[in-house]
Amino acid sequence: MIKSMTGYGRGCGSASGFVFLAELRSVNHRYADLVLRLPRELYFLEDQIRRLLLTDIKRGRVEVSLSLNETPAGMRQVGVNYDLAEDYYRALRKMTERLKLLEEVKLVHLLQMPELFKPAALELTEEQVWPAVSEALREALDQLLGQRQAEGENLYRDLSARCDSLAELAAVATERAEEAKEECRSRMYEKFQELLSGNFEETRLLMECAMLVERMGVDEELVRLKSHIEAFRTALEDSEPTGRKLDFIAQEMFREVNTIGSKAGDYKLTSIVVDLKAELEKIREQIQNLE
């Protein structure tokens, strides 16, 4: 069953005192494109994260956000930016001297200064964090795939209905093309009779009329169009990602319809071609959402 390329998933994973939150957002893209936003401490996991996600994501731009929400109590450390504290202290001393203030600079004043304290950098290992990270990612991925599957089912129903519409229009075009041939032969025969006042070789004239009508015929194009419609239906049932294949088939259908439109000398057939193009355009818009 076809899948959409758009979706969202959120997951939480915990193990060994670590708690991670993962969020996945996917939109349309020609290829599988992962954009990772990771804490600096987890950069070393980038390749593993990509391998995990690309197992199930074949197309689409996916934004991956991973945050460390909790660390084991024994690993929580706060560092002091002593260089910044010394700068603040000198600046405050200079300010009291310049303004001739009697108050001394004390610790309480420094504690009000921003960015003096910061969490100490964590030195993490794969064994410590991967179980929690992979759990969060898999939960988010399951939600994402569920949304893409649900949207894919909606697209499947819409595209199947549009295939039915294309097939009906192609059948009408085939019927009209045969009618147009006969009408063309009749008009040409009458015109030659009128122009030549009956003095002509009827067999030769009929042959010329037949050749001209065949050049205007669209039988081959209609046969190929019907074949492409069936190929499109088959691709819709494929279990593998088939968005690109459907796009190629749609292009071929457009090519046949354009040829029919350029060869058709009949306004009724031209009107059917317009309807075919309108339906195909809607199909192409929907295909852009498929994995």
Q: Tokens for 3, please give them.
A: 């899948």
Instruction: Give the C-alpha separation, 213 to 233, whole Å.
Output: 32
pLDDT in the model for residue 220 = 85
Which is more confident, 205 or 79? 79
pLDDT in the model for residue 165 = 94
pLDDT greater than 60 at residue 213: no
When pLDDT is averaged across residues 91-107 and rounded to a whole number, the result is 85
CATH architecture of 7-74+125-149: 2-Layer Sandwich (3.30)
pLDDT in the model for residue 100 = 82
What mean pLDDT value characterizes the chain?
85
Confidence of residue 123 (pLDDT cuts 50, 70, 90): confident
Q: List the chain domain ranges.
A: 7-74+125-149, 78-119, 150-287
pLDDT in the model for residue 74 = 61
Confidence of residue 177 (pLDDT cuts 50, 70, 90): confident
pLDDT greater than 90 at residue 35: yes
Mind spelling out the 3-state secondary structure of 144-209?
HHHHHHHHHHHHHHHHHHHHHHHHHHHHHHHHHHHHHHHHHHHHHHHHHHHHHCCCCCHHHHHHHH
Q: Tokens for 217, please give them.
A: 């015929």
pLDDT greater than 60 at residue 198: no
- Across the chain, the runs of DSSP E, i.e. the strands, are 7-15, 18-27, 32-37, 60-70, 78-80, 117-119
pLDDT in the model for residue 195 = 61
Confidence of residue 76 (pLDDT cuts 50, 70, 90): low
pLDDT in the model for residue 83 = 86
Q: Do the strands 7-15 and 60-70 form a parallel or antiparallel pair, or are they unpaired? A: unpaired
65: left (phi over 0), alpha (psi -120 to 50) or beta: beta
pTM value is 0.73
